[in-house]
Structure 1
């Protein structure tokens, strides 16, 4: 049995389905199914079985998962100890960030890093979901949180403030009593979802959206109010603050990585670059208008 077969099986064991494992590895659904079935034939024992709730591991599958996890841990530790230690940083660096932040305020910082470190292959991936850094879904995660994971280490880069925004005409109409105070239902992240529920406990929304760009578009159309990070809301000339930022809505912007990568050269250089570069735009993150 080779490691690639074990890696494919481990991906299935983590995700619980052929399709999810295929998406994680970037291969076809049929590839996952075929390789696992071939592995079962090679080992002469079933590893997975269908149940009422989908698929589950057999006793042999559970044992193989434990073995594969140990192998993966050793290989990742070896890679961390023996890669990216050259004086000049080089190689691939996978960074994950929230889409609206990566495509706007952070992109100039990424660009300057690429110019300063041409031998590093910077790969930016965007997601609002949690990323398993211990399993090397990414090398570095830029995340908004006030409670980074205990298994991770990192640097708090700045504070991300949020405020309630509306279109200029809509806010004026609400203040004069011509329009009622309506809220756009948002499902882009846990934070804005929770804050919207607190501001609008009856959950009566004429429009619900699940992505920040849709929230912005709806606010521009005068469909109601919504929470936005200040670096987004303040940069849009069609929007205005309906409520000023409140301290309970502040989030830390963290640069996180697994402790095994702390001494990897390209990770260290990226961390130091972001710490320096973020100072030029920290006022925008913090919602300081002057």
Structure 2
């Protein structure tokens, strides 16, 4: 029995589908399907039952999952111990970051790290969903939170403020007495709850599940929405409808597993991010005087 087969089996068990497992591992759907069938044939038993809700483990599948998870912990522990002794800049470094930052304000920061450390092969993984550092889905995570997991090593890089924005045209219509219209925001729990508080009647006729789409919708005069100040303040066509509220401040954290505390690539990246984000602090904290 090969570890790669067990790794694929665990991914399908955790995601509840072949496609989910393939996405989790970033491999082809056909590869995952073939390897699962091969593993079942090798063991002479059925590991999954297909149901409307997805793939469910059989009793044999549950037993294999428990054993595979124990093996996984051993493999990850060994990899972590070896990675912690890695004192070379050369090699792979996978960083996960949320989309609205990775594609805007952080991209030049990542690019400068890549130019400064050409021996490091930097992989940027964009995801607004939970990414397991313990399972080595990424080496470093850049996340917005005020409660970072205690199981990870963390560095708070800065505070990210948010405000309510609308287009200049739309805000002029409000000045004439129009009723405020709020976009239905579903990109994250933070913006969803803030919008629900600001618009308790939930009278939305336009819903969006991505912050970059929120920005685009505001520029189309579709209403009001919360945006991080580093996105909203830089847009000439937008203005603040409400100023930042300290209750909505979020910490921007750089997180990694304790096994990587001494890893050279992780420490080089950490030092780079602390320096670069320090230079961008005013943008993240919503000090409008720094915006041209």
Return the TM-score normalized by structure 2.
0.94
- Please give the alpha-carbon distance, in whole angstroms, between the structure 2 residues aligned to 1:86 and 1:260: 11
* Structure 1: runs of 5+ lacking an equivalent: none
CA displacement at 1:87 relative to structure 2: 4.1
Given that residues 84 and 266 in structure 1 are in contact (C-alpha distance below 8 angstroms), is that contact kept between their aligned partners in structure 2? Answer: no
Please name the residue that 1:244 is paired with.
243
Please give the secondary structure, in 2, of the residue aligned with 1:219: helix
1 CA distance for matches of 2:73 and 2:184?
42
Runs of 4+ in 1 over 6 A off after TM superposition: none
Structure-2 residue corresponding to 1:148: 148
Contact kept? 1:89, 1:117, Cα under 8 Å: yes
* CA–CA distance in structure 2, aligned partners of residues 153 and 190 of structure 1: 24
| 1:170–1:18 Cα change, 3 Å | same
Aligned to 2:18: 18
Aligned length: 289
Contact 1:157 1:254 in 2 (8 A): yes
Equivalent residues of 1:80, 1:264 under 8 A apart: no
Q: Which residue of 1 aligns with 2:224?
A: 225
Q: How does 1:265-280 map to 2 (within 5 A)?
A: 265-280=264-279
Tell me how far apart the structure 2 counterparts of residues 139 and 108 of structure 1 sit (CA, whole Å): 20
The question of whether the paired residues in 1 share the 8 Å contact of 2:86 and 2:262 is answered with: no
Rounded Cα–Cα distance in structure 2 between residues aligned with 1:125 and 1:33: 24
Q: Is the 8 A contact 1:91 1:121 kept in 2?
A: yes
1:85 deviates by: 3.9
Does the CA-based 8 Å contact 1:165-1:228 persist in structure 2?
yes
Displacement, 1:248?
A: 0.6
**2-side partners of 1:90 and 1:30: how far apart?**
33
- Per-residue CA distance 1:112-170 (angstroms, 9 max, x = gap): 21121111111111111111111111111101111112322211100000000011122
- Please state whether the residue corresponding to 2:72 is helix, strand or coil: helix
RMSD: 1.6
Residues 249-258 or 44-53, more deviating: 44-53
Instruction: Report whether the alignment pairs 1:214 with 2:213.
Output: yes
Query: If the length of structure 1 is used for normalisation, what is the TM-score?
Result: 0.94
Equivalent positions of 1:122-201 (< 5 A) are 122-177=122-177, 179-201=178-200
Contact 1:84 1:90 in 2 (8 A): no
- Paired with 1:190 and 1:237, the residues of 2 have a C-alpha distance of 27
Partners of 2:104 and 2:51 in 1: CA distance = 45
Question: Which residue matches 1:234?
Answer: 233
Residue pair 2:183, 2:204 contacting (<8 A) in 1 also? yes
Cα distance in structure 2, aligned partners of 1:88 and 1:260 = 16
Q: Secondary structure at the match of 1:114?
A: helix
Match in the other structure for 1:205: 204
